[in-house]
Amino acid sequence: MALAEQIEPAEPLVRVEDLTVRFPGGRAGFWGQTELEVHAIERMSFEIFPGETLGLVGESGSGKTTAGRAVLGRTPVKSGHIYFDGRDITNIEGDARRLLSRDMQLIFQDPYASLNPRMRILDLVAEPLIVHGLVRNRDEAVDEVKELLRKVGLPANAFERFPHAFSGGQRQRVVIARALALKPRFIVADEPVSALDVSIRAQVVNLLQDLQQEFGLTYLFIAHDLSVVQHVSDRIAIMYAGKLFEIGSADAIYSNPKHPYTEALLSAVPVPDPVIQRSQKRIVFEGEPPSPIYPPKGCRFAKRCPLATAQCENEEPPLAEKAPGQFAACWNRN
């Protein structure tokens, strides 16, 4: 893709090329003779540049989480390639993969489930250091753990407690401290604030931004709607039913979306203002996403799209450049 040269001359840190992921979807037929496949991601390509945040937005079943997991090598890839720092890491396994985890980390959605309830904070944060042999035991890690906790805004004396003593926002800070322990360059944040209370979310989002500044981190920030990503992303990618629908700079996506689905997503987020809500008619699209087992022949959004034509039903639109640096997959928009 020519995306790289046009936006930024720098080498992308992460490059995903024609990524296709399919999961076994059971069997059909009386004897189970037909093997079904869930088409999780179809021919997806994108790049993430050093120091930038790419927001990846999609609803449930869009394949956004699968995309994040595929980049981290946590899900088998059917075809396509993933490059990290110029190196093809698609099929790396075993010790090499383990070594790669020093560079790429994951922040989970649910801070209540992603911390082992039977381990103290010290053990949790020191674990990455220990399994990589960077320290020999937890006592050696104490200073480093204290420093990490300070970085994420937790009091230093937090390290001897168990996760249950912490609130959701504080737990997510522990998760972040753990992810930072190996000094990674790239972090996939899979809906890191969706499980948190509204009044706490910004604490965590702002922390992630501060840390990005401080350590020059690169983020893939996954979200299910456009409200939070707006604040953190340099560029935004929109996914629907396994396909990349639109990608472009955050400003362009918000002010001048090129795909009708992006418009729908933008208008669906309820604005906390009754006056605006009354004056502004929401675009409510009928229907639901297509079956991932039997995806339609043409555009996957055609069934719900107000602009759909016969061409949309029959031919899949390619991701085309609609404005400088802004790509969208739609036949009817320029």
Partner 1 sequence: MTQKLLEIDNLEVHFTTRRGVVRAVRGVSLSVGKGETLGLVGESGSGKSVTSQAAMGLVHIPGEIVGGDIRWKGQSLLGPEGHPLSRRIRGREMAMIFQDAMTSLNPLFTCGQQITEVLRYHRKMNKAQAQARALELFELVGISAPLERLNQYPFEMSGGMRQRGMIAMALACEPELLIADEPTTALDVTIQAQILELLQDLQKRLDLSIIMITHDLGVVAGLCDRVAVMYGGQIVEEASADEIFSHPAHPYTMGLLRSTPRIDGKDDRMVSIAGSPPDLLQAQQGCAFASRCPSRKAECSRDVQLKEMASRQVACRFPFSGPWSRDFKERTDHIGTR
Partner 2 sequence: MEYPSDSTHPDGDEAPDLNAPQIQEEEKTSTFAKAKALLSELWHDKPGFVGFVIIVALVLMAIFAPLIAPYDPAEQSLRARLIPPVWQERGTWEHVLGTDHLGRDILSRIIHGSRISMIVGVAVVALAGGFGITMGLIAGFFGGRIDAAIMRFVDTIIAFPGLLLALVILAVIGPSMTTVIIVLALNGWMVYARMTRGIVLSVRQMPYVEAAEMVGGRSFHVIFRHILPNMMSPLLTLGVLEFARIVLAEAALSFLGLGIQPPATSWGLDVANGKDYLFVAWWLVTIPGCAIAITVLAINLLANWARVTSDPQEREKRFATSVAAMRRRKKSSSPAIQAAE
Name the residues that contact partner 1, by CB under 8 A: 59-60, 167-170, 197-203, 205-206, 209, 224-228, 230-231, 254, 264-278, 282, 284-288
Number of neighbours of residue 303 by Cβ within 10 angstroms = 17
The pair phi, psi for residue 275, each rounded to 5°, is: -65, -45
Looking at 146, 178, 185, 201, which residue binds partner 2 (CB under 8 A)?
178
- The β-bridge relationship of strands 320-323 and 104-107 is unpaired
Choose among partner 2, partner 1, none what residue 175 binds, the Cβ cut-off being 5 to 8 Å by kind.
Answer: partner 2
Q: Which of these, 80, 91, 162, lies nearest to 120 by C-alpha position?
A: 162
Instruction: Tell whether residue 113 is a contact of partner 2 (CB under 8 A).
Output: yes
Instruction: Tell whether residue 153 is a contact of partner 2 (CB under 8 A).
Output: yes
Q: How far apart are CA 36 and CA 293, in angstroms?
A: 7
Min separation Cβ 71 and partner 2, Å: 12
Min separation Cβ 197 and partner 1, Å: 4
57 and 223 in contact (C-beta within 8 Å)? yes
Q: How far apart are CA 197 and CA 57, in angstroms?
A: 20
Min separation Cβ 54 and partner 1, Å: 17
Report how many residues bind partner 2 under the rule CB under 8 A. Answer: 47
User: Which distant-in-sequence residues (6+ apart) come within 8 Å of 33 by Cβ?
Assistant: 27
Q: What would the x/- binding string for partner 2 be over residues 186 to 215, using CB under 8 A?
A: -----------------x--xx--x-----
Residue with tokens 């996760």: 163
Tokens of 109: 């959605």
Instruction: Tell whether residue 57 is a contact of partner 2 (CB under 8 A).
Output: no
Instruction: Tell whether residue 333 is a contact of partner 2 (CB under 8 A).
Output: no
Looking at 14, 57, 89, 106, which residue binds partner 2 (CB under 8 A)?
106
Looking at 46, 49, 84, 166, which residue binds partner 2 (CB under 8 A)?
166
The span of 48-56, 174-182, 267-275, 300-308 binding partner 2 (CB under 8 A) equals: 174-182
Q: Please, which residues bridge with residue 327 across strands?
A: 247, 321
Q: Which is nearer to partner 2, 20 or 75 (CB)?
A: 75
DSSP 13-59: SEEEEEEEEEEEEEEESTT--EEEEEEEEEEEEEEE-TT-EEEEE--
55 and 237 in contact (C-beta within 8 Å)? yes
Instruction: Tell whether residue 271 is a contact of partner 2 (CB under 8 A).
Output: no
Tokens of 93: 């396994």
Q: How far apart are CA 308 and CA 299, in angstroms?
A: 9
Question: Cα 130 from chain centroid?
Answer: 27
Min separation Cβ 285 and partner 1, Å: 6
Q: Which is nearer to partner 2, 98 or 282 (CB)?
A: 98
User: Which distant-in-sequence residues (6+ apart) come within 8 Å of 123 by Cβ?
Assistant: 138
Looking at 127, 144, 316, 321, which residue binds partner 2 (CB under 8 A)?
127
Chain positions 299 to 328 lying near partner 2, rule: CB under 8 A, are none
Min separation Cβ 31 and partner 1, Å: 23
Instruction: Please give the residue ranges that form the binding site for partner 2 (CB under 8 A).
Output: 72, 74, 98-99, 101-102, 105-106, 108-110, 113-119, 127-128, 131-132, 150-155, 157-158, 160-162, 165-167, 169-170, 175, 178-179, 181-182, 203, 206-207, 210
